[in-house]
Structure 1
Amino acid sequence: MADPPPTPTMANAAIADKVARLKVVPQRQYGIWVGTALALLLVALIIRAFAVNPAFSWDTAAKYILHPPILRGLGTTLLLTVLIMAVAIVVGTVVAIMRVSPSPILRAFASVYVWFFRGVPALIQLIFWFNLSLLVRQISLTLPYIGTVFSARTNDIMTPFLSAVVALSLCEAGYMAEIIRAGIKSVPSGQAEAASALGMPYRMILKRITLPQAMRFVVPPTGNEAINLLKMTSLVTFIAVDDLFYSAQSIYARTFETIPLLIVVAFWYLAVVSIMSVGQLFLERHFGRSDKRDDAMLIEILARAITWRRRQSDV
Protein backbone atom coordinates (compact mmCIF):
# COMPACT_ATOMS: atom_id res chain seq x y z
CA MET A 1 0.00 0.00 0.00
CA ALA A 2 1.51 3.37 -1.09
CA ASP A 3 2.28 6.03 1.47
CA PRO A 4 -0.14 8.97 1.54
CA PRO A 5 1.14 12.15 -0.09
CA PRO A 6 2.64 14.66 2.34
CA THR A 7 0.28 17.33 3.55
CA PRO A 8 1.24 21.02 3.51
CA THR A 9 1.67 20.92 7.27
CA MET A 10 4.11 18.04 7.05
CA ALA A 11 6.04 19.77 4.25
CA ASN A 12 6.32 22.98 6.24
CA ALA A 13 7.50 21.07 9.28
CA ALA A 14 10.19 19.32 7.22
CA ILE A 15 11.38 22.64 5.80
CA ALA A 16 11.46 24.22 9.24
CA ASP A 17 13.46 21.25 10.56
CA LYS A 18 16.04 21.63 7.76
CA VAL A 19 16.31 25.37 8.38
CA ALA A 20 16.82 24.77 12.11
CA ARG A 21 19.73 22.40 11.38
CA LEU A 22 21.49 24.97 9.21
CA LYS A 23 24.55 26.57 10.72
CA VAL A 24 24.44 30.35 10.37
CA VAL A 25 27.89 31.84 9.89
CA PRO A 26 28.09 35.63 10.14
CA GLN A 27 29.77 37.36 7.25
CA ARG A 28 33.28 38.50 8.07
CA GLN A 29 33.67 42.26 7.85
CA TYR A 30 37.37 42.52 7.09
CA GLY A 31 37.11 46.21 6.20
CA ILE A 32 35.61 47.05 9.60
CA TRP A 33 38.33 45.03 11.38
CA VAL A 34 41.11 46.80 9.51
CA GLY A 35 39.54 50.21 10.07
CA THR A 36 39.10 49.53 13.79
CA ALA A 37 42.71 48.39 14.12
CA LEU A 38 43.98 51.51 12.34
CA ALA A 39 41.79 53.77 14.52
CA LEU A 40 43.06 52.14 17.72
CA LEU A 41 46.65 52.46 16.50
CA LEU A 42 46.13 56.14 15.71
CA VAL A 43 44.59 56.75 19.15
CA ALA A 44 47.51 54.99 20.83
CA LEU A 45 50.04 57.10 18.90
CA ILE A 46 48.22 60.33 19.79
CA ILE A 47 48.01 59.42 23.48
CA ARG A 48 51.69 58.45 23.50
CA ALA A 49 52.66 61.75 21.82
CA PHE A 50 50.67 63.75 24.39
CA ALA A 51 52.03 61.77 27.32
CA VAL A 52 55.71 61.49 26.35
CA ASN A 53 56.44 64.85 24.72
CA PRO A 54 57.74 67.18 27.47
CA ALA A 55 56.96 70.27 25.38
CA PHE A 56 53.29 70.03 26.37
CA SER A 57 54.22 70.88 29.99
CA TRP A 58 51.10 69.41 31.56
CA ASP A 59 52.14 70.54 35.04
CA THR A 60 52.36 74.15 33.83
CA ALA A 61 48.98 73.86 32.12
CA ALA A 62 47.41 72.49 35.31
CA LYS A 63 48.84 75.46 37.21
CA TYR A 64 47.01 77.93 34.94
CA ILE A 65 43.63 76.13 34.78
CA LEU A 66 42.20 78.15 37.71
CA HIS A 67 44.46 81.18 37.32
CA PRO A 68 42.44 84.37 38.16
CA PRO A 69 43.09 86.16 34.81
CA ILE A 70 42.06 82.99 32.97
CA LEU A 71 38.83 82.73 34.96
CA ARG A 72 38.07 86.43 34.37
CA GLY A 73 38.61 85.91 30.66
CA LEU A 74 36.34 82.86 30.74
CA GLY A 75 33.63 84.95 32.42
CA THR A 76 33.95 87.62 29.73
CA THR A 77 33.68 84.97 27.01
CA LEU A 78 30.54 83.49 28.56
CA LEU A 79 28.99 86.94 29.03
CA LEU A 80 29.71 87.83 25.41
CA THR A 81 28.19 84.56 24.21
CA VAL A 82 24.97 85.03 26.22
CA LEU A 83 24.50 88.69 25.25
CA ILE A 84 25.29 88.19 21.57
CA MET A 85 23.10 85.10 21.26
CA ALA A 86 20.16 86.81 23.01
CA VAL A 87 20.33 89.86 20.75
CA ALA A 88 20.87 87.68 17.66
CA ILE A 89 17.78 85.57 18.44
CA VAL A 90 15.59 88.65 18.88
CA VAL A 91 16.90 90.40 15.75
CA GLY A 92 16.97 87.15 13.76
CA THR A 93 13.34 86.41 14.68
CA VAL A 94 12.25 89.85 13.50
CA VAL A 95 14.19 89.50 10.24
CA ALA A 96 12.83 85.97 9.68
CA ILE A 97 9.24 87.18 10.16
CA MET A 98 9.96 89.99 7.71
CA ARG A 99 11.26 87.46 5.20
CA VAL A 100 7.98 85.51 5.27
CA SER A 101 5.85 88.66 5.48
CA PRO A 102 3.23 89.37 2.80
CA SER A 103 4.85 92.80 2.28
CA PRO A 104 7.39 92.78 -0.61
CA ILE A 105 9.23 95.75 0.92
CA LEU A 106 9.77 93.94 4.22
CA ARG A 107 10.87 90.80 2.38
CA ALA A 108 13.36 92.77 0.29
CA PHE A 109 14.78 94.57 3.33
CA ALA A 110 15.20 91.31 5.24
CA SER A 111 16.81 89.60 2.24
CA VAL A 112 19.35 92.40 1.87
CA TYR A 113 20.12 92.22 5.60
CA VAL A 114 20.78 88.48 5.45
CA TRP A 115 22.80 88.85 2.25
CA PHE A 116 25.04 91.56 3.71
CA PHE A 117 25.69 90.30 7.23
CA ARG A 118 26.24 86.71 6.12
CA GLY A 119 28.48 87.79 3.25
CA VAL A 120 30.89 90.10 5.09
CA PRO A 121 33.38 88.24 7.35
CA ALA A 122 32.75 88.65 11.08
CA LEU A 123 36.27 89.99 11.69
CA ILE A 124 35.77 92.82 9.18
CA GLN A 125 32.45 93.75 10.80
CA LEU A 126 34.13 93.68 14.22
CA ILE A 127 36.93 96.02 13.17
CA PHE A 128 34.45 98.32 11.38
CA TRP A 129 32.28 98.85 14.47
CA PHE A 130 35.37 99.30 16.63
CA ASN A 131 36.50 102.12 14.30
CA LEU A 132 33.06 103.69 13.94
CA SER A 133 34.44 106.96 15.30
CA LEU A 134 36.33 107.44 12.02
CA LEU A 135 32.93 107.88 10.33
CA VAL A 136 30.85 109.36 13.15
CA ARG A 137 32.76 111.55 15.56
CA GLN A 138 29.86 112.18 17.89
CA ILE A 139 26.54 110.50 18.62
CA SER A 140 23.74 112.88 19.58
CA LEU A 141 19.96 112.95 19.84
CA THR A 142 18.20 116.20 18.88
CA LEU A 143 14.44 116.69 19.13
CA PRO A 144 12.45 119.49 17.49
CA TYR A 145 11.59 122.42 19.78
CA ILE A 146 13.64 120.79 22.55
CA GLY A 147 17.18 120.77 21.29
CA THR A 148 19.96 118.32 22.00
CA VAL A 149 18.87 115.72 24.50
CA PHE A 150 21.93 113.50 24.41
CA SER A 151 25.42 113.93 23.02
CA ALA A 152 28.61 111.92 23.50
CA ARG A 153 31.80 111.09 21.68
CA THR A 154 31.60 107.88 19.69
CA ASN A 155 34.77 106.53 21.28
CA ASP A 156 33.19 106.90 24.71
CA ILE A 157 30.14 104.84 23.66
CA MET A 158 31.61 102.25 21.33
CA THR A 159 33.95 100.60 23.79
CA PRO A 160 35.69 97.39 22.68
CA PHE A 161 33.15 95.29 24.59
CA LEU A 162 30.11 97.07 23.13
CA SER A 163 31.65 97.00 19.65
CA ALA A 164 32.06 93.24 19.96
CA VAL A 165 28.44 92.78 21.09
CA VAL A 166 27.02 94.94 18.28
CA ALA A 167 29.18 93.51 15.50
CA LEU A 168 28.81 89.83 16.36
CA SER A 169 25.10 90.21 17.21
CA LEU A 170 24.28 91.67 13.81
CA CYS A 171 26.43 89.06 12.09
CA GLU A 172 24.90 86.15 14.02
CA ALA A 173 21.38 87.52 13.48
CA GLY A 174 21.80 86.92 9.74
CA TYR A 175 22.32 83.21 10.36
CA MET A 176 19.58 83.00 13.00
CA ALA A 177 17.13 84.64 10.60
CA GLU A 178 17.65 81.84 8.09
CA ILE A 179 17.34 79.17 10.78
CA ILE A 180 14.09 80.61 12.10
CA ARG A 181 12.73 81.16 8.58
CA ALA A 182 13.40 77.51 7.76
CA GLY A 183 11.60 76.51 10.97
CA ILE A 184 8.59 78.65 10.04
CA LYS A 185 8.52 77.17 6.53
CA SER A 186 8.60 73.64 8.00
CA VAL A 187 5.14 74.13 9.54
CA PRO A 188 2.40 73.01 7.10
CA SER A 189 0.81 76.07 5.52
CA GLY A 190 -2.65 74.56 5.84
CA GLN A 191 -2.69 75.29 9.56
CA ALA A 192 -2.05 78.99 9.03
CA GLU A 193 -4.64 79.05 6.26
CA ALA A 194 -7.21 77.41 8.53
CA ALA A 195 -6.54 79.93 11.28
CA SER A 196 -6.71 82.80 8.79
CA ALA A 197 -10.06 81.51 7.54
CA LEU A 198 -11.33 81.70 11.11
CA GLY A 199 -10.37 85.36 11.25
CA MET A 200 -7.18 85.10 13.28
CA PRO A 201 -4.74 87.94 12.45
CA TYR A 202 -1.26 87.23 11.08
CA ARG A 203 0.45 88.27 14.32
CA MET A 204 -1.64 85.83 16.34
CA ILE A 205 -1.08 83.03 13.81
CA LEU A 206 2.68 83.41 14.25
CA LYS A 207 2.44 83.58 18.05
CA ARG A 208 0.04 80.70 18.69
CA ILE A 209 0.43 78.35 15.74
CA THR A 210 3.55 78.78 13.62
CA LEU A 211 6.36 79.68 16.04
CA PRO A 212 5.55 77.06 18.75
CA GLN A 213 5.65 74.27 16.16
CA ALA A 214 8.74 75.67 14.47
CA MET A 215 10.74 75.45 17.72
CA ARG A 216 11.52 71.75 17.36
CA PHE A 217 13.15 72.50 13.99
CA VAL A 218 14.87 75.67 15.22
CA VAL A 219 16.45 74.38 18.45
CA PRO A 220 19.06 71.93 17.00
CA PRO A 221 20.68 74.39 14.53
CA THR A 222 20.39 77.17 17.11
CA GLY A 223 22.38 75.05 19.55
CA ASN A 224 25.03 74.55 16.89
CA GLU A 225 25.11 78.29 16.24
CA ALA A 226 25.50 79.00 19.96
CA ILE A 227 28.46 76.62 20.14
CA ASN A 228 29.97 78.19 17.02
CA LEU A 229 29.42 81.65 18.50
CA LEU A 230 31.24 80.67 21.70
CA LYS A 231 34.31 79.87 19.63
CA MET A 232 33.85 82.89 17.36
CA THR A 233 34.09 85.24 20.35
CA SER A 234 37.84 84.63 20.27
CA LEU A 235 37.89 87.17 17.40
CA VAL A 236 37.38 89.96 19.95
CA THR A 237 41.05 89.53 20.80
CA PHE A 238 41.79 91.72 17.76
CA ILE A 239 40.11 94.70 19.43
CA ALA A 240 41.64 94.04 22.88
CA VAL A 241 38.59 92.66 24.68
CA ASP A 242 39.81 90.74 27.72
CA ASP A 243 38.26 87.38 26.84
CA LEU A 244 39.64 83.89 27.50
CA PHE A 245 42.02 83.84 24.55
CA TYR A 246 43.23 87.41 25.15
CA SER A 247 43.97 86.58 28.79
CA ALA A 248 46.02 83.56 27.75
CA GLN A 249 47.87 85.65 25.18
CA SER A 250 48.70 88.26 27.78
CA ILE A 251 50.27 85.59 29.98
CA TYR A 252 52.30 83.68 27.43
CA ALA A 253 53.53 86.95 25.89
CA ARG A 254 55.41 87.46 29.19
CA THR A 255 56.29 83.89 30.15
CA PHE A 256 56.70 82.34 26.65
CA GLU A 257 54.67 79.32 27.84
CA THR A 258 52.64 79.29 24.66
CA ILE A 259 51.68 75.61 24.41
CA PRO A 260 50.53 75.16 28.04
CA LEU A 261 48.37 78.30 27.85
CA LEU A 262 46.81 77.15 24.57
CA ILE A 263 46.03 73.82 26.25
CA VAL A 264 44.27 75.71 29.04
CA VAL A 265 42.22 77.70 26.53
CA ALA A 266 41.29 74.53 24.63
CA PHE A 267 40.33 72.80 27.88
CA TRP A 268 37.89 75.54 28.90
CA TYR A 269 36.36 75.78 25.44
CA LEU A 270 35.84 72.01 25.38
CA ALA A 271 34.34 72.05 28.88
CA VAL A 272 31.84 74.80 28.05
CA VAL A 273 30.94 73.23 24.70
CA SER A 274 30.30 69.90 26.44
CA ILE A 275 27.91 71.56 28.92
CA MET A 276 26.15 73.40 26.09
CA SER A 277 25.79 70.16 24.14
CA VAL A 278 24.06 68.50 27.10
CA GLY A 279 21.72 71.49 27.44
CA GLN A 280 20.97 71.33 23.73
CA LEU A 281 20.07 67.64 24.06
CA PHE A 282 17.53 68.37 26.80
CA LEU A 283 16.03 71.23 24.80
CA GLU A 284 15.67 69.01 21.74
CA ARG A 285 13.89 66.38 23.83
CA HIS A 286 11.60 69.01 25.34
CA PHE A 287 10.53 70.54 22.03
CA GLY A 288 10.48 67.16 20.26
CA ARG A 289 7.86 65.65 22.55
CA SER A 290 5.18 66.30 19.96
CA ASP A 291 6.79 64.13 17.27
CA LYS A 292 4.54 61.19 18.16
CA ARG A 293 1.34 63.14 18.62
CA ASP A 294 1.13 65.43 15.61
CA ASP A 295 -2.58 64.76 15.10
CA ALA A 296 -3.41 65.62 18.69
CA MET A 297 -1.39 68.83 18.42
CA LEU A 298 -3.19 69.84 15.23
CA ILE A 299 -6.58 69.24 16.83
CA GLU A 300 -5.57 71.27 19.88
CA ILE A 301 -4.31 74.16 17.74
CA LEU A 302 -7.51 74.27 15.71
CA ALA A 303 -9.57 74.10 18.91
CA ARG A 304 -7.68 77.07 20.32
CA ALA A 305 -8.20 78.99 17.09
CA ILE A 306 -11.95 78.31 17.17
CA THR A 307 -12.13 79.32 20.85
CA TRP A 308 -10.27 82.54 20.10
CA ARG A 309 -12.65 83.25 17.22
CA ARG A 310 -15.68 82.75 19.46
CA ARG A 311 -14.28 85.10 22.08
CA GLN A 312 -13.73 87.74 19.43
CA SER A 313 -17.32 87.32 18.24
CA ASP A 314 -18.65 87.68 21.79
CA VAL A 315 -16.75 90.90 22.21
Structure 2
Amino acid sequence: MTAAAPSQTAHRATRLGLGVGMDLPWGERIGFTHTSDGGDVTPRVRSFLRRHQEHFGYSFFAFQPRNRARLRAVDYVPAYDRLYDSMPAERPRAFHQTLLNMGTPETYDRRPVADFTNELHARYGFSWVVEDLGIWSLRGRPLPYPLPPVMTEQGLERATSNAREARELLDPELHVEFPGFTEGGSFVLGGLDAFDYFRRLADDADVWVTLDVGHLLSYQWLRGRTGSAMYEGLEALPLERCRELHLSGCQIVRGKFRDLHHGVLLDEQIDLTRHLLPRCPNLLGVTYEDPVYNEDGELTPKSRPNYERLRAVVARWTAGAAGDAA
Protein backbone atom coordinates (compact mmCIF):
# COMPACT_ATOMS: atom_id res chain seq x y z
CA MET A 1 0.00 0.00 0.00
CA THR A 2 1.28 3.49 -0.84
CA ALA A 3 2.06 5.54 2.24
CA ALA A 4 0.24 8.77 2.90
CA ALA A 5 1.90 12.14 2.59
CA PRO A 6 3.79 13.31 5.68
CA SER A 7 1.47 13.34 8.65
CA GLN A 8 2.61 16.67 10.06
CA THR A 9 1.42 18.74 7.07
CA ALA A 10 -0.80 16.49 4.97
CA HIS A 11 -2.89 18.66 2.67
CA ARG A 12 -3.44 19.15 -1.04
CA ALA A 13 -0.94 21.48 -2.67
CA THR A 14 -1.67 25.00 -3.82
CA ARG A 15 0.10 25.35 -7.16
CA LEU A 16 2.73 28.06 -7.00
CA GLY A 17 3.78 27.67 -10.62
CA LEU A 18 7.31 28.28 -11.84
CA GLY A 19 9.99 29.18 -9.30
CA VAL A 20 13.64 30.12 -9.52
CA GLY A 21 16.51 28.62 -7.53
CA MET A 22 19.91 30.25 -7.36
CA ASP A 23 23.28 29.13 -6.07
CA LEU A 24 24.90 32.40 -4.98
CA PRO A 25 28.57 31.89 -4.03
CA TRP A 26 30.53 34.68 -2.42
CA GLY A 27 32.82 36.56 -4.79
CA GLU A 28 31.33 35.31 -8.08
CA ARG A 29 29.62 37.40 -10.78
CA ILE A 30 26.37 35.52 -10.08
CA GLY A 31 26.43 35.52 -6.31
CA PHE A 32 27.08 37.68 -3.27
CA THR A 33 29.78 40.31 -3.00
CA HIS A 34 31.65 41.26 0.17
CA THR A 35 31.07 44.83 1.34
CA SER A 36 32.17 46.79 4.40
CA ASP A 37 28.62 46.68 5.79
CA GLY A 38 27.93 42.94 5.50
CA GLY A 39 27.53 41.99 1.85
CA ASP A 40 25.14 42.37 -1.08
CA VAL A 41 24.05 40.62 -4.25
CA THR A 42 26.02 41.53 -7.35
CA PRO A 43 24.58 43.97 -9.90
CA ARG A 44 24.16 41.06 -12.33
CA VAL A 45 21.89 39.20 -9.91
CA ARG A 46 19.87 42.32 -9.21
CA SER A 47 19.44 42.91 -12.96
CA PHE A 48 18.18 39.34 -13.47
CA LEU A 49 15.67 39.63 -10.65
CA ARG A 50 14.41 42.95 -11.96
CA ARG A 51 14.03 41.64 -15.52
CA HIS A 52 12.40 38.28 -14.69
CA GLN A 53 10.63 38.73 -11.35
CA GLU A 54 7.17 38.42 -12.89
CA HIS A 55 8.04 34.98 -14.27
CA PHE A 56 8.45 33.35 -10.86
CA GLY A 57 5.88 32.50 -8.21
CA TYR A 58 8.49 31.63 -5.55
CA SER A 59 12.25 31.41 -5.07
CA PHE A 60 15.03 29.77 -3.16
CA PHE A 61 18.75 30.33 -2.88
CA ALA A 62 21.36 27.80 -1.83
CA PHE A 63 23.51 28.38 1.22
CA GLN A 64 27.17 29.07 0.54
CA PRO A 65 29.53 29.84 3.45
CA ARG A 66 31.21 33.22 3.17
CA ASN A 67 34.21 32.05 5.19
CA ARG A 68 35.28 29.26 7.53
CA ALA A 69 34.30 31.16 10.67
CA ARG A 70 31.76 29.83 13.14
CA LEU A 71 28.28 29.70 11.63
CA ARG A 72 26.33 32.82 12.73
CA ALA A 73 23.16 34.16 11.14
CA VAL A 74 24.19 37.75 11.87
CA ASP A 75 27.09 37.40 9.41
CA TYR A 76 24.67 36.65 6.56
CA VAL A 77 21.63 38.79 7.33
CA PRO A 78 22.81 42.04 5.63
CA ALA A 79 23.37 40.30 2.30
CA TYR A 80 20.22 38.20 2.57
CA ASP A 81 18.15 41.29 3.44
CA ARG A 82 19.42 43.00 0.28
CA LEU A 83 18.66 39.93 -1.81
CA TYR A 84 15.06 39.87 -0.62
CA ASP A 85 14.74 43.65 -1.02
CA SER A 86 15.34 42.97 -4.73
CA MET A 87 12.38 40.56 -4.93
CA PRO A 88 8.60 40.87 -4.49
CA ALA A 89 7.92 40.60 -0.75
CA GLU A 90 4.69 38.61 -1.15
CA ARG A 91 6.26 35.66 -3.01
CA PRO A 92 6.99 32.46 -1.04
CA ARG A 93 10.64 31.90 -0.11
CA ALA A 94 12.52 28.67 0.42
CA PHE A 95 16.08 27.86 1.44
CA HIS A 96 18.42 25.26 -0.07
CA GLN A 97 20.68 24.10 2.74
CA THR A 98 24.00 22.36 2.00
CA LEU A 99 25.15 21.48 5.51
CA LEU A 100 22.60 18.91 6.75
CA ASN A 101 24.62 16.18 5.00
CA MET A 102 21.82 13.62 5.26
CA GLY A 103 23.49 10.98 3.09
CA THR A 104 26.64 10.67 5.19
CA PRO A 105 27.48 7.42 6.99
CA GLU A 106 29.06 9.48 9.78
CA THR A 107 27.35 10.67 12.94
CA TYR A 108 27.60 14.21 14.28
CA ASP A 109 25.52 16.93 15.90
CA ARG A 110 23.24 18.72 13.38
CA ARG A 111 21.82 21.12 15.95
CA PRO A 112 24.13 24.07 15.10
CA VAL A 113 23.10 23.88 11.43
CA ALA A 114 19.44 23.53 12.38
CA ASP A 115 19.64 26.44 14.83
CA PHE A 116 21.25 28.63 12.16
CA THR A 117 18.55 27.66 9.64
CA ASN A 118 15.75 28.22 12.14
CA GLU A 119 17.10 31.68 12.97
CA LEU A 120 17.03 32.59 9.28
CA HIS A 121 13.54 31.12 8.98
CA ALA A 122 12.31 33.30 11.86
CA ARG A 123 13.46 36.36 9.88
CA TYR A 124 12.52 35.36 6.32
CA GLY A 125 9.64 32.90 6.76
CA PHE A 126 10.87 30.04 4.59
CA SER A 127 8.07 27.89 3.21
CA TRP A 128 10.43 24.92 3.19
CA VAL A 129 14.08 23.89 3.41
CA VAL A 130 15.45 21.53 0.77
CA GLU A 131 18.69 19.59 0.52
CA ASP A 132 19.92 16.77 -1.71
CA LEU A 133 20.16 13.38 -0.01
CA GLY A 134 23.89 13.32 -0.52
CA ILE A 135 27.25 13.05 1.16
CA TRP A 136 28.24 16.72 1.19
CA SER A 137 31.27 16.38 3.46
CA LEU A 138 33.41 13.75 5.15
CA ARG A 139 35.27 14.31 8.40
CA GLY A 140 34.36 17.98 8.17
CA ARG A 141 35.83 18.45 4.70
CA PRO A 142 33.38 19.56 1.97
CA LEU A 143 33.33 17.53 -1.25
CA PRO A 144 33.45 19.25 -4.66
CA TYR A 145 30.12 17.59 -5.60
CA PRO A 146 27.79 15.73 -3.23
CA LEU A 147 28.03 11.95 -3.57
CA PRO A 148 24.95 9.71 -3.46
CA PRO A 149 24.31 8.04 -0.10
CA VAL A 150 25.65 4.54 0.50
CA MET A 151 23.24 2.30 -1.43
CA THR A 152 23.12 -0.58 1.05
CA GLU A 153 20.63 -1.55 3.75
CA GLN A 154 22.94 -0.15 6.40
CA GLY A 155 23.42 3.04 4.39
CA LEU A 156 19.66 3.38 4.00
CA GLU A 157 19.14 2.96 7.74
CA ARG A 158 21.69 5.70 8.49
CA ALA A 159 20.35 8.10 5.83
CA THR A 160 16.78 7.57 7.03
CA SER A 161 17.82 8.36 10.60
CA ASN A 162 19.64 11.50 9.38
CA ALA A 163 16.60 12.71 7.43
CA ARG A 164 14.27 12.07 10.35
CA GLU A 165 16.60 13.96 12.70
CA ALA A 166 16.82 16.92 10.30
CA ARG A 167 13.03 17.06 9.97
CA GLU A 168 12.59 17.05 13.74
CA LEU A 169 15.21 19.78 14.29
CA LEU A 170 13.94 22.21 11.65
CA ASP A 171 11.05 24.60 12.18
CA PRO A 172 10.15 24.90 8.47
CA GLU A 173 9.17 21.85 6.44
CA LEU A 174 12.00 19.69 5.13
CA HIS A 175 12.08 18.53 1.51
CA VAL A 176 14.63 15.78 0.85
CA GLU A 177 15.92 15.89 -2.73
CA PHE A 178 16.66 12.82 -4.84
CA PRO A 179 20.46 12.69 -5.25
CA GLY A 180 22.48 13.03 -8.42
CA PHE A 181 24.27 10.05 -10.02
CA THR A 182 26.39 11.77 -12.65
CA GLU A 183 28.69 9.18 -14.21
CA GLY A 184 32.25 10.42 -14.03
CA GLY A 185 31.32 13.18 -11.58
CA SER A 186 30.53 10.91 -8.64
CA PHE A 187 30.59 7.23 -7.72
CA VAL A 188 28.13 4.85 -6.11
CA LEU A 189 28.73 2.43 -3.23
CA GLY A 190 26.20 -0.39 -2.95
CA GLY A 191 23.66 -1.91 -5.29
CA LEU A 192 20.17 -1.03 -4.02
CA ASP A 193 17.76 0.45 -6.56
CA ALA A 194 17.86 4.22 -6.02
CA PHE A 195 14.15 4.83 -6.69
CA ASP A 196 13.05 2.16 -4.21
CA TYR A 197 15.71 3.36 -1.72
CA PHE A 198 14.37 6.91 -1.90
CA ARG A 199 10.76 5.81 -1.47
CA ARG A 200 11.59 3.70 1.58
CA LEU A 201 13.53 6.57 3.13
CA ALA A 202 10.74 9.07 2.51
CA ASP A 203 8.13 6.78 4.02
CA ASP A 204 10.17 5.77 7.07
CA ALA A 205 11.49 9.28 7.79
CA ASP A 206 8.04 10.76 7.03
CA VAL A 207 9.35 13.58 4.85
CA TRP A 208 8.26 15.49 1.78
CA VAL A 209 10.57 15.14 -1.22
CA THR A 210 11.93 17.11 -4.17
CA LEU A 211 12.60 15.37 -7.48
CA ASP A 212 15.39 16.93 -9.52
CA VAL A 213 14.59 15.93 -13.09
CA GLY A 214 18.26 15.98 -14.07
CA HIS A 215 19.12 13.76 -11.13
CA LEU A 216 16.43 11.27 -12.15
CA LEU A 217 17.79 11.23 -15.69
CA SER A 218 21.36 10.85 -14.43
CA TYR A 219 20.32 7.65 -12.65
CA GLN A 220 18.38 6.39 -15.66
CA TRP A 221 21.40 7.01 -17.92
CA LEU A 222 23.62 5.18 -15.41
CA ARG A 223 21.24 2.21 -15.65
CA GLY A 224 21.19 2.34 -19.45
CA ARG A 225 17.61 3.63 -19.57
CA THR A 226 17.79 6.14 -22.39
CA GLY A 227 15.26 7.27 -25.00
CA SER A 228 11.76 6.01 -24.23
CA ALA A 229 13.22 3.81 -21.46
CA MET A 230 13.81 6.92 -19.33
CA TYR A 231 10.23 6.52 -18.02
CA GLU A 232 10.84 3.00 -16.70
CA GLY A 233 10.74 2.42 -12.96
CA LEU A 234 9.50 5.90 -12.00
CA GLU A 235 6.43 4.45 -10.28
CA ALA A 236 8.74 3.24 -7.49
CA LEU A 237 9.42 6.85 -6.46
CA PRO A 238 7.41 8.52 -3.64
CA LEU A 239 5.44 10.64 -6.13
CA GLU A 240 2.64 11.39 -3.64
CA ARG A 241 5.22 13.01 -1.36
CA CYS A 242 6.77 15.19 -4.07
CA ARG A 243 6.38 18.94 -3.41
CA GLU A 244 8.81 20.34 -5.96
CA LEU A 245 10.51 19.50 -9.26
CA HIS A 246 13.94 20.98 -10.05
CA LEU A 247 15.39 21.54 -13.52
CA SER A 248 18.94 22.82 -14.00
CA GLY A 249 21.13 22.93 -17.08
CA CYS A 250 22.30 19.47 -18.21
CA GLN A 251 24.14 18.02 -21.17
CA ILE A 252 24.83 14.62 -22.72
CA VAL A 253 28.53 14.31 -23.50
CA ARG A 254 29.70 11.24 -25.47
CA GLY A 255 26.65 9.32 -24.29
CA LYS A 256 27.12 10.23 -20.62
CA PHE A 257 24.77 12.46 -18.65
CA ARG A 258 26.30 15.60 -17.17
CA ASP A 259 24.56 17.76 -14.55
CA LEU A 260 26.41 21.00 -15.36
CA HIS A 261 24.05 23.69 -14.00
CA HIS A 262 24.90 25.81 -17.06
CA GLY A 263 21.35 27.05 -17.66
CA VAL A 264 20.54 25.03 -20.81
CA LEU A 265 17.76 22.48 -20.34
CA LEU A 266 17.61 19.26 -22.35
CA ASP A 267 14.53 18.24 -24.32
CA GLU A 268 14.45 15.10 -22.16
CA GLN A 269 14.05 17.24 -19.03
CA ILE A 270 11.01 18.99 -20.47
CA ASP A 271 9.51 15.66 -21.58
CA LEU A 272 10.05 14.04 -18.19
CA THR A 273 8.58 17.08 -16.44
CA ARG A 274 5.43 16.74 -18.56
CA HIS A 275 5.26 13.08 -17.56
CA LEU A 276 5.65 13.78 -13.84
CA LEU A 277 3.29 16.74 -13.42
CA PRO A 278 0.00 14.78 -13.41
CA ARG A 279 1.57 12.01 -11.32
CA CYS A 280 2.57 14.22 -8.36
CA PRO A 281 -0.73 15.16 -6.66
CA ASN A 282 0.85 17.24 -3.87
CA LEU A 283 3.25 19.22 -6.05
CA LEU A 284 3.77 22.89 -5.15
CA GLY A 285 5.94 24.08 -7.99
CA VAL A 286 8.58 23.55 -10.65
CA THR A 287 11.92 25.30 -10.14
CA TYR A 288 14.28 26.52 -12.85
CA GLU A 289 17.56 26.17 -10.99
CA ASP A 290 20.75 28.15 -11.58
CA PRO A 291 19.87 30.29 -14.60
CA VAL A 292 22.85 31.80 -16.39
CA TYR A 293 22.60 35.38 -17.62
CA ASN A 294 24.60 38.43 -18.70
CA GLU A 295 25.22 41.79 -17.00
CA ASP A 296 21.77 43.04 -18.03
CA GLY A 297 20.06 40.03 -16.47
CA GLU A 298 19.17 38.53 -19.84
CA LEU A 299 19.33 34.75 -20.15
CA THR A 300 22.03 33.32 -22.41
CA PRO A 301 20.75 32.69 -25.97
CA LYS A 302 21.17 28.88 -25.77
CA SER A 303 19.09 28.67 -22.61
CA ARG A 304 16.07 30.64 -23.84
CA PRO A 305 14.21 28.13 -26.09
CA ASN A 306 13.75 25.38 -23.52
CA TYR A 307 13.26 27.87 -20.73
CA GLU A 308 10.28 29.23 -22.65
CA ARG A 309 9.04 25.69 -23.27
CA LEU A 310 9.26 25.00 -19.55
CA ARG A 311 7.36 28.20 -18.75
CA ALA A 312 4.55 27.16 -21.09
CA VAL A 313 4.30 23.64 -19.66
CA VAL A 314 4.23 24.91 -16.09
CA ALA A 315 1.71 27.63 -16.91
CA ARG A 316 -0.75 25.01 -18.22
CA TRP A 317 -0.23 22.89 -15.12
CA THR A 318 -0.62 25.88 -12.78
CA ALA A 319 -3.91 26.76 -14.42
CA GLY A 320 -5.16 23.27 -13.59
CA ALA A 321 -4.70 21.64 -16.95
CA ALA A 322 -2.35 18.87 -15.82
CA GLY A 323 -3.62 16.70 -18.63
CA ASP A 324 -2.64 19.34 -21.18
CA ALA A 325 0.83 19.64 -19.59
CA ALA A 326 1.25 15.89 -20.00
**Shorter-normalised TM range:** under 0.3
Q: How does the TM-score come out when normalised to structure 1?
A: 0.22
Q: Give the strand-richer structure, 1 or 2.
A: 2
Which structure's relative contact order is higher, taking Cα pairs within 8 Å and 6+ residues apart?
A: 1
Q: How does the TM-score come out when normalised to structure 2?
A: 0.22
Indicate the structure (1 or 2) with the bigger Cα radius of gyration.
1
